[in-house]
Amino acid sequence: MNILFLGAPGCGKGTQSKILIEKYGIAQISTGDLLREEMSSQSDLGEKIRSIMAKGDFVDDKLVLSLVSKKIESNECKKGFILDGFPRNLSQAKSLDTLLENMSKSIDHVLFIDVPDEVLIQRCTGRLLCDTCDYIGNKDRGENIGDPCPVAEGTLYQREDDKEETVRNRLEVFKDQTQPIIEFYEEKGKLNKLIGGNDPKLLASKINKIINI
């Protein structure tokens, strides 16, 4: 099963992807994570990526496409995959179509999680990550940068691009570049729109109903 998640930063794509991975044994392809991995290698390319991401702008289409295609071809994706954060503009969506066609694969479900801007800004600017595990905390829950992770041995930190000014730019870029993709999949009759509230379990059960058809 191949799934594509669409939605603005902080809409909950990552959280829902993790739930589906566990349930179906498919792989998550998060271009944000792949780029952060590349960044941590401290190569020249990594440094270039860091400065683009710090502003909330998009990394070069060709680079992202090559990371995605390598991952789809890997053994990890044998049972299927979830695309999270790709495609992010019309050109990437068209490239993905060609890539999948050449591999005789297709996307089974396109899921768009719609969340109001103010909620997205609050979620992203409050979000805290663990440097050791997948735990996602939030300042709303009284957690702070530097606190010990409640799950693993790690420490909580804030992503560089979760600062308010950058989050606002990411939302602008989403509206400008990614919104057209929503229409692209709608015209193909593939789009499922979901309203993302504050209850991840409720959203997960709505997603389940769609993909179990």
Min dist. Cβ of residue 136 to ligand ADP (A):
11
Respond yes or no: is residue 127 known to be catalytic: yes
Which span sits near ligand ADP by CB under 6 A: 49-57, 95-103, 149-157, 192-200?
A: 49-57
Pairing of strands 81-84, 2-6: parallel
Judged by beta carbon, residue 32 or residue 196, the one nearer ligand ADP is 32
Alpha carbon separation from 160 to 71, 122, 127, 157 (Å, rounded): 25, 15, 11, 9
Judged by beta carbon, residue 85 or residue 196, the one nearer ligand ADP is 85
Confirm or reject binding of residue 32 to ligand ADP (CB under 6 A). yes
Binders of ligand ADP in range 152-191 (CB under 6 A): 161, 170
Confirm or reject binding of residue 35 to ligand ADP (CB under 6 A). yes
The amino acid that residue 182 corresponds to is I
Sequence-separated (6 or more) residues with CB below 8 Å from residue 56: 161, 166, 167, 169, 170, 173
Respond yes or no: is residue 159 known to be catalytic: yes
Sequence-separated (6 or more) residues with CB below 8 Å from residue 140: 122, 126
Confirm or reject binding of residue 9 to ligand ADP (CB under 6 A). yes
Count of residues interacting with ligand ADP (CB under 6 A)? 18
- Calculate the CA 24 to chain-centre distance: 18
Confirm or reject binding of residue 67 to ligand ADP (CB under 6 A). no
Confirm or reject binding of residue 31 to ligand ADP (CB under 6 A). yes
Respond yes or no: is residue 206 known to be catalytic: no
3-class DSSP state for residue 67? helix
Which backbone phi and psi does 192 adopt, to 5 degrees? -115, 120
Q: Which of 48, 50, 105, 159 is catalytic?
A: 159
What order of strands is seen across the sheet that includes strand 136-138?
136-138, 127-130, 156-157
Among 64, 121, 149, 171, binds ligand ADP (CB under 6 A): 64
What order of strands is seen across the sheet that includes strand 109-114?
27-30, 81-84, 2-6, 109-114, 191-195
Confirm or reject binding of residue 17 to ligand ADP (CB under 6 A). no
Binding residues for ligand ADP, rule: CB under 6 A, are 9-10, 31-32, 35, 52-53, 56-59, 64, 85-86, 88, 92, 161, 170
Give catalytic residue positions.
13, 88, 127, 159, 170
